[in-house]
Amino acid sequence: MSESYFPISLHSLRVDTVPPFDLYLLHSSSSPPVLYRHKDTQFTEEVLEKLKQNDVQNLFVPRHQREDYFGYSSKMVAETVRDPDAPVEKKTRVVYDTTATIMEDLFVSPRSNIRIQQAKDTINQAVDLMANDQEATRKMIFLTCHDYYTYTHSVNVTIFATALMQKVLPHLPGEHNYQVIGEGFLLHDIGKSAIPPGVINKPGKLDDEEWRLMRRHPQIGQEILNSTRHGDPIIDAIVLQHHEKMNGQGYPHGLRDDEIHPYARICALADVFDAITTVRSYRDPMPTAVALKVMRDEMGEHFDWDYFNEFVKLFGELNE
């Protein structure tokens, strides 16, 4: 089934639109999806409510229609975010779910120019939303998924890092903007598309060859973006340096302190925090307070201390 269809969130469908792709329902994990609505059929409020009443959260689209879906979803995100009558909960959910779906496909086809651009366009909507609405920032953080997948991790890191960046760097240099930085956060792990899943999700310690391969993913990511002409000095810095540590013991170049770009330092915090607060096959997630304590007590030398303190305050403010 996974080879023929891909899941989409119900939130990515906008009422009174005409999706140019077929919609399928999955009734059982042991049987294939069944056709629910033909493409070019209006998606109405009545249809949406009926699906909600039956606790349907995802529909399925034939994989051969994925370009039709991604073209539609990118347009729907922009329209929903611009809609003055759409509640912030709707806007944040549409942005999160659509970005995650795009990133899932991007990790399968990392050199797809069109998919990279769609990922950038969609995350730009999220960054703008967070920059202009503090409540949207809160909602986005609460939306972050607690099951670890490389693609949801990328979205979560973008949300945490963008929220922190708005606190510590409220006024950017003239040639910089939040959108490009957000793109760097979203694409920070694109190099992992070249790493076997068995290495990424290995429960035990990596052997020497696996660790050598894993340490190359920042450079692989930079090469992917440059080869697709999506490279940018800011994005490159985030992708290449997000595993560098303030004490010089990171990778790939062992940079330390101010040698590490400020945006990469922010990404590093968000990256570690999300990694230890999400479910992995080999361990339970840490609660927020425990994760922050572990980061402080066991990894303190890895991070920019000023940024870390503001990161802690960020979560304190969420509960006010």
Alpha carbon distance 253, 234 (integer Å)? 17
Domain, as residue range, for 256: 87-318
Pair (100, 17) in one structural domain: no
In a domain, 277, yes or no: yes
**At 204, which CATH number?**
1.10.3210.10
If you search the block for the tokens 């409220």, which residue do you land on? 170
Structure pTM? 0.93
Whether residue 67 is contained in a domain is answered as no
Q: Cis link prior to 20 (omega < 30° from 0)?
A: no
Q: Is the pLDDT of residue 203 over 60?
A: yes
Residue 315 φ then ψ, to 5°: -75, -30
CA distances from 240 to 100, 236, 265, 314 (A): 22, 6, 11, 26
CA proximity to 265, closest of 307, 215, 208:
307
- What percentage of the chain has pLDDT greater than the value 70? 98
Task: Determine, yes or no, domain membership for 79.
Answer: no
DSSP classification of residue 43: B
Q: Strand, coil or helix: what is 171? A: coil
Burial status of residue 161 (CB atoms within 10 A of its CB: 0-12, 13-18, 19 or more): buried
Give me the half-sphere count of Cα atoms (radius 13 Å) on the Cβ side of residue 143.
Answer: 27
Please indicate, yes or no, if residue 80 is contained in any of the structural domains.
no
User: Could you report the per-residue pLDDT of 107-121, keeping only the tens digit for each?
Assistant: 999 999 999 999 999
Are 106 and 38 in the same domain? no
> 135 and 204: one domain?
yes
Q: Contact at 8 Å (CB) between 135 and 285?
A: no
Same domain (yes/no): 220, 312 = yes
So what's the pLDDT on residue 199?
92
* Same domain assignment for residues 52 and 160: no
Residues 130 and 236 in one domain: yes
Q: Mean pLDDT over all residues of the chain?
A: 93
Question: How many domains does the structure of the chain reveal?
Answer: 2
Same domain flag for 109 and 231: yes
* 37 and 102 within one domain: no
In a domain, 17, yes or no: yes
Is 1 a residue whose pLDDT tops 70? no
Mean pLDDT of 16-21: 97
SS (H, E, C) 91-121: HHHHHHHHHHHHHHHHHHCCCCHHHHHHHHH
* Mean pLDDT, range 63-81, rounded to an integer: 95
Tokens 């402080």 found at: 296
- Summarised one tens digit per residue, pLDDT across range 237-254 is 999 999 999 999 999 999
Q: What is the mean pLDDT of residues 39-59?
A: 96
Helix pair angle (178-186, 150-168), 10° resolution: 150
Q: Are residues 147 and 227 in the same domain?
A: yes
Output phi, psi for 255, to 5 deg. -70, 160
DSSP secondary structure of 278-292: SBBTTBPPPPHHHHH
Q: Are 167 and 209 in contact (CB under 8 A)?
A: no
Average pLDDT over residues 194-201: 91
State how far the alpha carbon of 246 is from the alpha carbons of 166, 211, 243, 251, 292, in Å. 21, 21, 10, 11, 17
Alpha-carbon span 143 to 141, nearest angstrom: 5
As a whole number of angstroms, the longest Cα–Cα distance in the chain is 58
Please identify, among 47, 62, 77, the residue that sits at the C-terminal boundary of a domain. Answer: 62
Percentage of the chain lying above the pLDDT 90 cut: 83
DSSP 13: S
Residues ≥6 apart with Cβ < 8 Å to 74: 98, 102, 118, 121, 122
Residue 300 located in a structural domain? yes
Q: Quick one: pLDDT at residue 280? A: 77
Residue 130 shares a structural domain with residue 198: yes
Whether residues 172 and 212 fall in one domain: yes
For 54, residues 6+ apart whose C-beta sits below 8 A from its C-beta are none
Q: Are 37 and 22 in contact (CB under 8 A)?
A: yes
Name the β-bridge partners of 283.
280
Tens digits of per-residue pLDDT, 298-307?
999 999 999 9
Task: Name 297's Cβ contacts closer than 8 Å, sequence gap at least 6.
Answer: none
Strand runs (DSSP E) across the chain, as ranges?
Answer: 5-9, 23-25, 34-37, 58-62
Instruction: Band the pLDDT of 309: cuts 50, 70, 90.
Output: very high
Query: Quick check: is 74 in a domain?
Result: no
Whether residue 250 is contained in a domain is answered as yes
Quick one: average pLDDT of 212-226? 96
Which of 71-75, 166-170, 258-262 has the least mean pLDDT?
Answer: 166-170
pLDDT higher than 60, residue 131: yes
pLDDT at 106 over 50: yes
Residues 100 and 50 in one domain: no
Mark which of 29, 62, 95 sits at the end of a domain: 62
